[in-house]
Structure 1
Amino acid sequence: MAQDGEELVLVDFPAEGVQRLTLNRPAKRNALSNALRARLFELLEAGDANPDVRVTILRGAGPCFSAGYDLAGGSAPPYPFHTAPGSGHWARHVVEGAFRVWDLAKPVIAQVHGWCLAGGSELATACDLVYVAEDAQIGYPPVREMSPPDNQFHPWLCGMRAAMEMMLTGNAIDGREAVRLGFANRAFPIAELEDAVLDMARQVARIPSDVQAMNKRSVHRAMEIMGLRAAIRAGTEIQALALTTETSRAAFERMSGGVSQALSQRDTAFGDYRTREKD
């Protein structure tokens, strides 16, 4: 499947038992269009059914992992799969997608570099292991004027105080801080990230898939008993309500005149993301 003249997701097999998927819209900072998401789910599920695949690495081409959902028309129908329509459809749809990754039998490893923002951060958190470049920038800037996340993972991974700070500022954290807070497993210099992730994937692939399915499920079930799945699903209702606020409606109105300009206007007061002064 292609978009913008490019294959949306590249597939290779860099080691025995290892499938690697590369988000391939570098000119768009790997914006998660529905077409890209559909292809990604298709390939993840194909890997889950392939006896020769034991683990999947997910990474981004070009300068970053993903800057988020495609707000410039790429989030319009058709959707990758059916989600009940009505108020809150998008947030419910996103969360169902995250749990499609969560519920795969085989582990998925996120290899994160550069920007990992908004929907990109939601995609990373759906993976089982997350390894990041030390200088990666991870954040959810839409909290500044649109809404809390569709997939509200922050308190589960980072704890209450860190989650609250991220929600009340929209500030990004770097790779080292992501590890300290629990968002990621380990951070590496960017030049070492790919080899380190591949080494970990080889280790994961040494264990038979029927055993790994139970290992993965044991951790997930413990989190679900503590309420993770119910809490994240409940969060979609808050996200939907947030979109009815005066500030959120005004933000979407500004985006109708140009997404880049609207996002720059949002972040100028903070001096970060696209408005950060270059060194």
Structure 2
Amino acid sequence: MADQPILLTDSPAPGVRRLTLNRPEKRNALSNQLRGELFAALEAADKDPEVRVIVLRGAGTCFSSGYDLAGLGELPFHTAGAQGQWARHVVEGCFRMWDLAKPIIGQVHGWCLAGGSELAFACDLVYIAEDAQVGYPAVRTMSSPDNQFYPWLMGMRAGMELMLTGDSISGVEAARLGFANRAYPLDELEPAVTAMAERIAKVDPELAQLNKRLVHRQMEAMGLRAGLRAGTDLHALGWHTKASREFMAQMRQGVKQALNTRDSTFGDYRTKEE
């Protein structure tokens, strides 16, 4: 698999550019190399006059299990350093996607966890498989999310429950609560996303850009952009807690064992008995 590209590009329909995270053996864990290639491909699609809509999906069994905890690598673009750098970097990446002219559709199946859920949030539309699982288990032992979007999409009560438990929700629940637009049976997800992309591509691209910005501007007027940026400071504080320091010590002894220890108490994620 080492010689395989980690990001695939194709065009499933006229005016549609599709980007596929291609680390299926790692559950599409988001290394910084993959993130860098993704940002470059998104920007290239945004500049291409033949592209009107972008689709983002994952190869293999899931969309993305989150950031690559075994080794992220060098940041794909500069973000001011010191405390909170990583969370600021993630939020800046989200807004890079928001600020593109072309609409981005997230096609989510399987695991959509932690950084994977943050990547899906950065998309303008999300369509999800009914049996997908969305969650942020890192809040159990590491820190609050890098990008604290859950209350904005799901409201205070649902967002609070997910943040206090680290539990995951199904694709059906994700659509009901507002994380996704609609949920489909897995075998219907891809054709549904392609059909929606083709429908959006019929709209004049200049108008589509304005319509996309209109929705974002309303969210920003309510404080979303400022709120997400403020959340990066809380994320930085989390790394100084006793629980986080102890968990990171376990991680240095082995990532899989540390994750199993974290989730075995709850009986979910990789430790769930089928």
Q: Normalising by structure 1, report the TM-score.
A: 0.97
Q: Is structure 2 residue 274 aligned with structure 1 residue 269?
A: no
Match of 2:192 in 1: 196
Q: Which amino acid aligns with 1:96?
A: E
Distance 2:46 2:97 in 1: 10
Match of 2:122 in 1: 126
Q: Normalising by structure 2, report the TM-score.
A: 0.99
Distance 1:173 1:189 in 2: 16
Match of 1:103 in 2: 99
Once the two structures are TM-superposed, the CA of residue 76 in structure 1 deviates from its matched residue by: 2.7
Distance 2:144 2:128 in 1: 23
Match of 1:25 in 2: 23
Cα root mean square deviation, aligned: 0.7
Contact 2:33 2:73 in 1 (8 A): no
Q: Is structure 2 residue 92 aligned with structure 1 residue 87?
A: no
Distance 1:48 1:14 in 2: 17
Distance 2:256 2:169 in 1: 22
Once the two structures are TM-superposed, the CA of residue 8 in structure 1 deviates from its matched residue by: 1.0
1:34-85 residue CA offsets vs partner (Å, 9 max, x unmatched): 0000000000000000000000000000000000000001x132x1100001
Structure 1 runs not aligned, ≥5 long:
none
Q: Is structure 2 residue 50 aligned with structure 1 residue 55?
A: no
Distance 1:184 1:87 in 2: 32
Q: Residue 166 of structure 1: SS of its match in structure 2?
A: helix
Q: Residue 245 of structure 2: SS of its match in structure 1?
A: helix
Distance 1:226 1:158 in 2: 15
Once the two structures are TM-superposed, the CA of residue 205 in structure 1 deviates from its matched residue by: 0.5
Distance 2:73 2:256 in 1: 18
Match of 2:250 in 1: 254
Superposed counterparts of 1:1-279, under 5 Å: 4-73=2-71, 75-77=72-74, 79-278=75-274
Q: Which amino acid aligns with 1:24?
A: N
Distance 1:55 1:259 in 2: 37
Q: Which runs of 4+ in 1 moved over 4 A?
A: none
1:233-262 residue CA offsets vs partner (Å, 9 max, x unmatched): 000000000111010011111000110110
